[in-house]
């Protein structure tokens, strides 16, 4: 079971770049909770706790942040990080309202071994997320797509995804989620690209020879 509960401390002062550096130095992360109706709530989070849990969070993971006596139901919208140090510098959350429809993106995961793989086909995932609209309580953390029936040179599109009726899919129905390509087809494309490169080099070479003869 993924832990989607966080505990934040209200931040009422020490803002700005210098203040953020002091917060980070204390092993906490500056964060803000935005909402349509309420003013932004500035908080700090325990750095170790957040970074250990965030690997399981996506844009569609409904989180609960407890600040004092109040619980905030939020989605993680954006975070800044120091890639070299592997640390998070700041997090933005969006607070959802109970009973109010929200729009967000949900990750797509593939399952199963495609039938076309038995004939040398290679499975390629084209789309890794789709946009949906629903109530917060109906928001799926992810969408699983079974590709077992996919044959050689066949694809599965958004219109073929099985999803709960209370979740409205906004991504165009004709968008491809996954496809099984034949190996020969990919090799032929690579060979054509390679031939094009040889021709260009050959033309350049002949130009050089003409100049030298002159």
Report if pTM > 0.85. Answer: no
Q: In this structure, what token pair is assigned to residue 139? A: 């928001």
The ranges of the chain annotated as CATH 2.170.120.20 are 103-187
Those residues whose C-beta lies under 8 Å from the C-beta of residue 15, and which sit 6 or more positions away, are 42
Q: Report which of 49, 146, 150, 147 is spatially closest to residue 91, judged by C-alpha positions.
A: 49
- Residue 56 has, within 13 A of its CA and on its CB side, a CA count of 12
* CATH code that applies to domain 5-97: 2.40.240.10
Q: Which residue is it, tokens 């076309």?
A: 116
For residue range 40-82, list pLDDT tens digits in order: 999 999 999 999 999 888 888 899 999 999 999 999 989 999 9
**Overall fold of domain 103-187:** RNA Polymerase Alpha Subunit; Chain A, domain 2 (2.170.120)
60-85 in b/e form (b: 16+ CB < 10 A) is bbbbebebeeeebbbbbeebeeeeee
Distance from chain centroid for Cα 59: 7
CATH code 2.40.240.10 region(s) in the chain: 5-97
115-143: pLDDT as tens digits: 999 999 999 999 999 999 999 989 998 89
């Amino acid at each position: 079971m993924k832990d989607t509960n966080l505990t934040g401390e209200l931040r009422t002062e020490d803002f700005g770049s210098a203040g953020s550096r002091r917060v980070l130095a204390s092993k906490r992360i500056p964060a803000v909770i935005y909402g349509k109706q309420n003013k932004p709530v500035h908080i700090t989070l325990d750095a170790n706790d957040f970074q250990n849990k965030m690997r399981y969070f996506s844009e569609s993971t409904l989180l609960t942040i407890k600040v004092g006596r109040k619980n905030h139901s939020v989605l993680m919208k954006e975070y800044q990080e120091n890639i070299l140090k592997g640390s998070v510098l700041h997090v933005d959350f969006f607070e959802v309202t109970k009973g109010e429809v929200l729009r967000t993106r949900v990750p797509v995961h593939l399952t199963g071994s495609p039938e076309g793989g038995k004939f040398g086909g290679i499975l390629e995932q084209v789309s890794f997320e789709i946009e949906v609209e629903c109530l917060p309580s109906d928001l799926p953390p992810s969408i699983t797509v079974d590709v077992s029936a996919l044959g050689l040179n066949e694809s599965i599109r958004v219109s073929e995804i099985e999803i709960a009726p209370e979740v409205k899919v906004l991504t165009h129905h004709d968008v491809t989620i996954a496809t099984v390509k034949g190996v020969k087809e990919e090799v032929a494309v690579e060979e054509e690209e390679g031939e094009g490169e040889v021709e260009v080099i050959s033309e350049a070479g002949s130009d050089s020879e003409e100049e030298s003869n002159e």
